[in-house]
Structure 1
Amino acid sequence: MINNKKKSGGVNQYTEACAIGKYISMSAHKARRVIDQIRGRSYAETLMILELMPYRACYPILKLVYSAASNGNHNMRFKEASLIISKAQVTEGKTVKKLKPRARGRGYPIKRTTCHITIVLKDLGAKEEHFDPLIQI
């Protein structure tokens, strides 16, 4: 079987920078509540929203947004003023199953849900055209 899908999930490497957080210990439903508020917003507005929201999911998402912006700044010289959140998604990760000891030698199951968060920032100031050595002029 041939897998032609990109590893980065369809990210345009010339105009977009991404950061992926895996196995973050919170439910995907609680992370989606925050992600839905920042999707499509500018970088500066996103930072302000995440710092003021009262949810526990805001801190790991804020770290991912910072990481994606620094990836774009370091690797592709993107300016932070022209970045927007083009794609933000949350998928469910593995559930960690543990046993909590209880009375009389019994065990009580504990299920800790995890999630994977992907943040993609798009630079509106970057040129869409790029040099492709396979295309003959």
Structure 2
Amino acid sequence: MIKRDPDVEVYALGQHICMSAHKARRVIDQIRGRSYEETLMILELMPYRACYPIFKLVYSAAANAIHNMGFKETDLIISQAEVNEGTIVKKLKPRARGRSYPIKRPTCHITIVLQDISKDQEYFIWLRKSGWVYKDKYTDVRERYLCMIELERLKWANDVIERYLCMIEQDRLKWANGEWAYGESEGVWDKK
């Protein structure tokens, strides 16, 4: 069961959606924790059938947040997303010789919870403790969130640069020690 804080969170619930919970969870796992705008782009571009009802639910939850609570779209993130199994619709398909085969059509219940990060101070405390945001360097909430995304990109770029520099340093040491010469250790120039 999802626990919600009514001051900063708004939800939308879709019941008896005609698809298995497993197929819906594939998509839900990709959008959990992302911003509202990023989620809409992901759902539009993913090739799964489950994307359309989840897209409608996210859009509905955002409409609830804007109309009922007065939140801004830019401050919304998907804090919780859950898929539960619903009832199974059982039918019979007629077959040869008067027999019938059972058809089971699974349904699922999807819950999407949107959180307004501009009003949630505990979220910023967690960001500061984890090292994403420094003391009052950024005042606007959107800038804080964008700073977190930019720091993640910089961290990834630094990892790539470190690996590249490490490879260059290893090649330089091999060259200095005489281990790496044309045609000796690499085996590229052996064929004549």
Q: TM-score range by the shorter chain?
A: 0.7 to 0.9
Deviation at 1:9, TM superposition (A): 3.7
- Structure with the bigger percentage of strand: 1
Secondary structure of the residue aligned to 2:111 is strand
Which one has a bigger Cα radius of gyration?
2
Match of 1:33 in 2: 26
**TM-score under structure 1 length normalisation:** 0.85
Residue of structure 1 in register with 2:94 after alignment: 101
Structure 1 residues 52 and 98: alpha-carbon distance in aligned structure 2, compared to 1, 3 A threshold: same
Q: Counterparts of 1:110 and 1:122 in 2: how far apart (Å)? A: 39
For 2:47, the equivalent position in structure 1 comes to 54
Normalised to the residue count of structure 2, the TM-score between the two structures is: 0.61
Letter in 2 for 1:74: H
Structure 1 position 12, deviation (Å): 1.1
CA distance in 1, matches of 2:117, 2:78: 11
Report the 3-state secondary structure (helix = DSSP H, G, I; strand = E; otherwise coil) of the residue aligned with 1:26: coil
- Report the Cα distance in structure 1 between the residues aligned to 2:108 and 2:114, rounded to whole angstroms: 20
**CA deviation vs aligned residue, 1:62-100 (integer Å, no higher than 9, x gap):** 000000000010000010000000000101011111001
**Alpha-carbon distance in structure 2 between the residues aligned to 1:59 and 1:126:** 30
**Which piece of structure 1 moves more, 9-18 or 34-43?**
9-18
In structure 2, the residue matched to 1:71 is: 64
RMSD: 1.2
Unaligned runs of 5+ in 2: 122-192
**Inter-partner Cα distance in structure 2 for 1:62 and 1:17:** 16
Identity fraction in percent: 71
How far 1:127 moved relative to its partner? 5.6
The corresponding residue for 1:132 is none
Unaligned runs of 5+ in 1: 1-7, 129-137
Q: Residue 126 of structure 1: CA displacement? A: 2.3
Could you say which residue in structure 1 is the equivalent of 2:118?
Answer: 125
Secondary structure of the 1:99 match is: strand
List structure 1 runs of 4+ shifted beyond 3 angstroms: none
Q: Which has the higher contact order (CA 8 A, sep 6+)?
A: 1
